[in-house]
Every structure is written in C-alpha cells, then in structure tokens.
Amino acid sequence: MMRRIFFTIAILLFSWNVFSQGIQFEIGSWKEVLQKAKQENKLIFVDLYTTWCGPCKKMAAETFPQQAVGDYFNKNFVNYKIDAEKGEGPELAGKYEVSAYPTLVFVNAAGELVYKFMGVRTADKLIAEGEKAVRLYALAPSIAAMEKEYEQGKRGKVFLGEYYALLKESGAGGGIVLNEYLKCLSDEELLLEENVSNIGNISIFDPVLFDRLVKGIKKVEGENKKLGNRLNTSVMKSLSACFATCVKEKDEKALEGILGVKAGLGNLENGMSAMMGGGKSYLPAEQLRLDFYSNNRLDDKFKTLMSEYMIAQQQENSIDSLRKTEEITNRHFEMLIDSAKMKNDSAAIVSIRKTMGMASLFGGVKYKLLSSFVISATRHYWKITDQQNVGEKKKCIAWVNYAYQLDRTPATAWGCADLLEEIGEKQGAKKLLNDVLEVIKNNSLSDADPKDIQSVTERVEKM
C-alpha cells in the first residue's frame, strides 16, 4: 500500500512538472491581467480561441506545454487565454479585430495592440513571434518620435535613412519613407551594398525612382556583371511587391508603369525565379494584367484579354510541339537506361533517373505554371460570363483541356476535372481522369506518386 502511495505521489509530481514547463496562463479578469502587466512592466500575450477550433486545440496541446516556449513566454509576458465567445472574450475579439482562430495578440499594459498573428505555430516559430513583439514594443517610442518629425516635414537624407532603418528593424516595412530615402541618394550611393538590398524592399511604385534604377542596371552590367545581376534581382523583387500594392489600391496606372519597367529590363520571364522567391514580376505581362483585372472585377477587360491571351498561347505553346519534345526526351533517357541495364550498372541507372527528374523539373516549370494559371483564369472567366451561352461554355471546356495537356499529372488532372464538373461536363471530367491514368501506365519513366494514382482511380470508380 505504501509503495502505491509513493508511486501515486511521484506520478502527480511528474505531471505537475510537465505542466509547469509550458506557458503559465493567468486566471482572472482582463482588468487584473492589465494591472499585473503594469506592475511587472511586461507585454501581455493573449490566446484568443474557441472551443470548436481544431488548430486552437493543437496549439494548446502541442506548442504551449513545451519547456522552451514556457521559459521564454513566462519570463517576458503576462500570459492570458480566453474563449472568444464567452465572458469578456467577445469584447476583446472585437477590440482587436479578430476574424479567425486561433488569433494570438500582444498588447501593452494600457491594452493597446502591439502585434498580432493568426494560425498555428511550432515552438520555435511561436518564440520568434514573441521576439518580434518584444522588438516592436522596444522600438515603438523611437518610431513614434521620428514619425512625428516626419509628419512635421523633416526630410533630410540622414533622417530618412535612420527612420527607414528603424521601420525595417521593426518589421513594419519602409513604404514611402524608403522611396524618399532612395531618391535622396546619388547614382553612386544607390549602388552601395546596403542600398542594393534595400531596393528589393520597395513596395510603392515610383516611376522616377525606377527609371533611375533601370538606367543604373544598364550602366553597371557591362562594368560589373555580378553587381548588375544583384541589382536586377532586387528590382524584380521590388516590382513583385509593387504589383501587390497596385492590385490592392486598384492603381491601373501603376500596373502599366510596372510592366513598362519589366519591358525595359528585357521583359524578364522566368518561371523558376517566380517559384523560388522572385515573385510575380517574373511572370508574363498578360498574366499580370489578367490578375489585376480579376482582382479588381474589371470583367469586360478580363474577358477580352483572356480570349486574346488563350489564342496566342495555343499558337505559341502548341500541344503537338510539346508532345514531340516529350517524346524525344523520353526516348533519349530510355536509351541511356537500357544501355546501363545491359552493363548491369545500377549506379548509372540511379544517376540517369536523377538527371531525368531534374530535366523534367526545370523543363516542365514553364508548362506547369502556365497550366495552373489557365485553370485559375478559366475558373474566373466561367464565373463572370454568360453560362447559358453555348459558345462560352465550349470555350471554357477547350481551355480546361488545354491546361491539362500542358501538364498531364494527377494533380493537374484532378483540378481540371473539378472545373469541368463545375461547368457541367461530368463525362468530360471522367474522360480526362482516365486519360491521365493511361498516360502514366504507358510511360515507363513516370514518377507519379502511387497515392495520387490511387486517389484518381477511386474518383473515377465513384463517378
């Protein structure tokens, strides 16, 4: 009996220790939490959750109890969690404009919002969010003081540089301050190491500034190719951010300016660069225009350009030409693999398959991105067009099938089948799914995931 008692006590102590390792949340009213934060001179970390929110439960069960999280949050914050639908929860959710769960907020002792984010975070990422909140809180007085001077008209080069550096450190971004600072610099200063990096952070399109940057790129390309490439990359990155801003602000003039800069740089189009962080500036100009029109509901412009764009794409990227290229490539690798098999060289076979995979990846990016765009754009076109018009329906069906032919993979076939069923072409969707299964079956070099194949097969059987 005594041994059982000691065992029970040990289990309870162990459970308490595990629990105490994580974040320790305050129990009490919001007023009491604010008072404690004021007394301890700390920020408040608030977990706004709901009982029905799965991700909220995941954070509570997997992230909050971890020792590293507890060590950091218990030291730096007064921690509080509250059901956003009960008690004081709805009032706090309204005050901090919570629209999804979980939403995690950091506020000061006066209840003023310092920083917030939504969604699940792992332990390391949650700590990183906490560090960002602490940094923002520490910088807030300095930023407020410089903001006041800026509003009063202070615009010296040194001041703007210091103000932008502070905004950058806080994570707030430079906005118009960065543009004004860069415009104060001489052509030589623009090409300094720190400013080439800063150029990539521009998010507001300024035609005068970008004109200088394009001229700068052309000037240094012949003298210092490495610097020219870095400057080019920074400008393209900034154009992607400017594009997002012009879409948000419905600024069609800025859109055309951005496309003009792209053209001035050689109208760079690089699918791999777009996928690897360069952003939308590396996509074709017509795609950016269509993206802008769709986001801002310029329906007539979208429909006219989409029809013209698809005619041009089907001519420039014909399926017959694509199939011939695939056939030549596959035949080449099949010959190499057959040769390696005859020599019983398993290492060579592995190497050839890796090379084939890389060739497929780099060679197929263009068509995969084009396929994805056509599916998305066709879906939007179908939503805004006259769905009772037979000609419009046939047009959309043809575009979906073209998108599939560009990238005959299970994932693309699935997306195309979804859209065909939405249009009302269930038999067309089934035919397309059967086709992708046949393509995989007849391609000895296919690297399709067996799980994807099984999913498509099961979907066909249920149709």
Predicted confidence (pLDDT) per residue in 273-285, tens digit: 655 566 889 899 9
pLDDT for 361 beyond 60: no
Q: Tokens 């005050």 belong to which residue? A: 95
pLDDT for 16 beyond 70: no
Q: What phi and psi values does residue 48 have, to the nearest 5 degrees? A: -95, 115
The DSSP output letter for 293 is H
What is the percent of the chain where pLDDT is above 70?
89
Mean pLDDT to the nearest integer, 138-149 = 91
In this prediction, residue 154 has a pLDDT band, given cuts at 50, 70 and 90, of: very high
Q: Tokens 């764009």 belong to which residue? A: 309
Supply the pLDDT for residue 410: 93
pLDDT for 33 beyond 80: yes
Ramachandran area for residue 173 (φ above 0: left; ψ -120 to 50: alpha; else beta): left
Residue 14: count of CB within 10 angstroms of its CB:
10
Supply the pLDDT for residue 181: 96
Asked if residue 399 lies in contact with residue 378, where contact means CB atoms within 8 angstroms, the answer is yes
71: CB partners within 8 A, 6+ apart: none
- 56 in catalytic set: yes
Q: Which of 56, 246, 396, 416 is catalytic?
A: 56
Supply the pLDDT for residue 336: 75
Give tens-digit pLDDT for 185-232.
999 999 888 899 899 999 999 999 999 999 988 888 878 888 888 998
Task: Identify which of 101, 25, 21 has the alpha carbon closest to the alpha carbon of residue 65.
Answer: 21
Asked if residue 281 lies in contact with residue 239, where contact means CB atoms within 8 angstroms, the answer is yes
In this prediction, residue 322 has a pLDDT band, given cuts at 50, 70 and 90, of: confident
Strand pairing category for 77-83 and 113-118: unpaired
In this prediction, residue 359 has a pLDDT band, given cuts at 50, 70 and 90, of: low
What does the alpha-carbon distance between residue 451 and residue 448 come to, in Å, rounded to a whole number?
9
Supply the pLDDT for residue 333: 66
What does the alpha-carbon distance between residue 372 and residue 364 come to, in Å, rounded to a whole number?
12
CA angle 19, 25, 27 (to 5 degrees): 115
Amino acid at 316: E
Least confident of 71-75, 118-122, 217-221, 286-290: 217-221
What does the alpha-carbon distance between residue 266 and residue 272 come to, in Å, rounded to a whole number?
17
Supply the pLDDT for residue 152: 96
pLDDT for 402 beyond 60: yes
The DSSP output letter for 25 is B
Asked if residue 357 lies in contact with residue 447, where contact means CB atoms within 8 angstroms, the answer is yes
What does the alpha-carbon distance between residue 177 and residue 169 come to, in Å, rounded to a whole number?
14
Q: Tokens 């994807």 belong to which residue? A: 452
Residue 199: count of CB within 10 angstroms of its CB:
23
In this prediction, residue 272 has a pLDDT band, given cuts at 50, 70 and 90, of: low
- 184 in catalytic set: no
Encoding tokens for residue 149? 């001077």
Mean pLDDT to the nearest integer, 165-183 = 88
Mean pLDDT to the nearest integer, 390-402 = 97
The end-to-end CA distance of the chain, in Å, is 64
Q: What phi and psi values does residue 104 have, to the nearest 5 degrees? A: -110, 125
Supply the pLDDT for residue 340: 74
Residue 223: count of CB within 10 angstroms of its CB:
8
Give tens-digit pLDDT for 327-354.
777 677 677 777 778 888 788 767 767 7
Averaged confidence pLDDT in the chain? 87
352: CB partners within 8 A, 6+ apart: 333, 336, 337, 340
Supply the pLDDT for residue 240: 93
Encoding tokens for residue 205? 């399109």
Mean pLDDT to the nearest integer, 71-94 = 94
Q: Give, for 350, the enclosing helix (H) or strand (E).
A: helix 346-384
The pairs formed by 446-453 with CB atoms below 8 angstroms and a separation of 24 or more are 447/357, 447/360, 448/409, 448/410, 449/410, 452/409, 452/410, 452/411, 453/410
CA angle 141, 146, 147 (to 5 degrees): 95
Task: Identify which of 78, 68, 82 has the alpha carbon closest to the alpha carbon of residue 24.
Answer: 78
Amino acid at 347: A
Q: Is 444 in a helix, a strand, or coil? A: coil
What does the alpha-carbon distance between residue 334 and residue 444 come to, in Å, rounded to a whole number?
9
CA angle 79, 82, 86 (to 5 degrees): 165
Starting from the edge strand earliest in sequence, which strands make up the sheet with 77-83, in order? 77-83, 43-49, 103-107, 113-118
The DSSP output letter for 172 is S
Q: Which of 53, 242, 246, 396 is catalytic?
A: 53
Supply the pLDDT for residue 99: 84
Supply the pLDDT for residue 180: 96
Which carries the bigger pLDDT value, residue 101 or residue 346? 101
The DSSP output letter for 278 is I
